[in-house]
Amino acid sequence: MPGSYPAGAPTLSGDTLSISRFLQNPTAIRRRLRNFKDLRFVSDQLLTQRLRSSGGAVLYEQTEPFVSDRTVEAVSAGSEYPFANLPTGTAAVAAVAKWGQKVRLTDEEIERNVYAGAAVDRALQKVVNSIISQVDSVTMSAIGTALADTATLGKWDAGTPKILNDILNAKRIIVARNLGYSPDTIVVSDLGYMSMMVDTVISNLWRRETTDNPVYTGEVQQIAGMTVVVTPNLPVATSAYVLDSKALGGMADETDGAPGYAVSDLAVQIKSIRLDANDAWDLQGRRKTVPVVQEPGAGQEITGVTS
């Protein structure tokens, strides 16, 4: 929203003073950050649980059983119920990493911009997006490493693809594990998404004579009851994921009482630091987090989706 801070004549007493008040106000910075959300960053959409870290690490369990370790028995009248134990999953520890970066913004760059806030916008956007992109890459790599895979029945972008078959087969494999998983998300690359859009088998099944048909909206929002998520950060661009986002895992974010930080909606913290000796500002951003895949069986990777 660069027009929110229009400058008058580019004078030091006007522009610099107004921008200084803005940069020294974490609440104002937070409001501005809310405009920089990009749905192509998907870490928090796929790992939806929120975990607490302690001492720079998070302790969690993988593949926790959801039944007891003893078969239920018939109990005679007056008899005592048999005891059973509740087995736990495999314990694991993940260390929290602090992903951070800062950029410098000079007073001259601010005051010489007709819309002074535009310079701040660009700087904030680059810092926040760079951090989120890094966290996304780490998260997608962790998910890809944890999931089992199954080969596609045919490349989605060539020959005679069987896209719907591949998706339903991956969903079937997840459900067949009988661990209570309910796949609700499909993760694809840009090319995989385009292939889904133009696949005739799928398009012939769309509802006709309606304006929410993907041929009009340009979007495929759901297939087989699952939300379609597009990301450029798949560790293997030729793959696709089918998963249960409620069970797969979560992000363990660590917070502290460091002064001056504003927290954006994407869990990135940013702080402005005045450098009087340089007539400049440092815009510093960070996210202290680690992705945790608690239930690897809640997802399935489809390999060989695209060329």
Q: What are the tens digits of pLDDT across the range 241-279?
A: 999 999 999 999 888 878 888 887 678 898 889 999 999
Residue 22's pLDDT is what? 64
The string of pLDDT tens digits covering residues 239-249 is 999 999 999 99
- Residue 4 above 70 pLDDT? no
Residue 210's pLDDT is what? 80
Mean pLDDT, rounded, for 218-234:
88
- Is residue 73 a part of any domain in this protein? no
- Is residue 80 a part of any domain in this protein? no
- Residue 117 above 90 pLDDT? no
Burial of 177 (0-12, 13-18, 19+ CB in 10 A): middle
Residue 116 main-chain phi, psi, to 5 deg: -60, -35
Mean pLDDT, rounded, for 48-60:
83
Q: pLDDT exceeding 90 applies to what percent of the chain?
A: 39
- Is residue 201 a part of any domain in this protein? yes
Number of domains forming the structure of the chain:
1
Give 6's pLDDT tier (boundaries 50, 70, 90).
very low
Burial of 259 (0-12, 13-18, 19+ CB in 10 A): exposed
- Is residue 96 a part of any domain in this protein? yes
Give 160's pLDDT tier (boundaries 50, 70, 90).
confident
- Is residue 71 a part of any domain in this protein? no
- Is residue 251 a part of any domain in this protein? yes
Instruction: Report the alpha-carbon distance of residue 239 to residue 186 in Å, rounded.
Output: 11
Residue 200 main-chain phi, psi, to 5 deg: -70, -30
- Residue 305 above 90 pLDDT? yes
- Is residue 83 a part of any domain in this protein? no
Which residues form the domain of 143? 2-64+89-303
- Is residue 131 a part of any domain in this protein? yes
Q: pLDDT exceeding 70 applies to what percent of the chain?
A: 86
Residue 87's pLDDT is what? 79
180 versus 256: the higher-pLDDT residue is 180
Residue 245's pLDDT is what? 95
Q: What is the CATH number of the domain that holds 122?
A: 3.90.1690.10
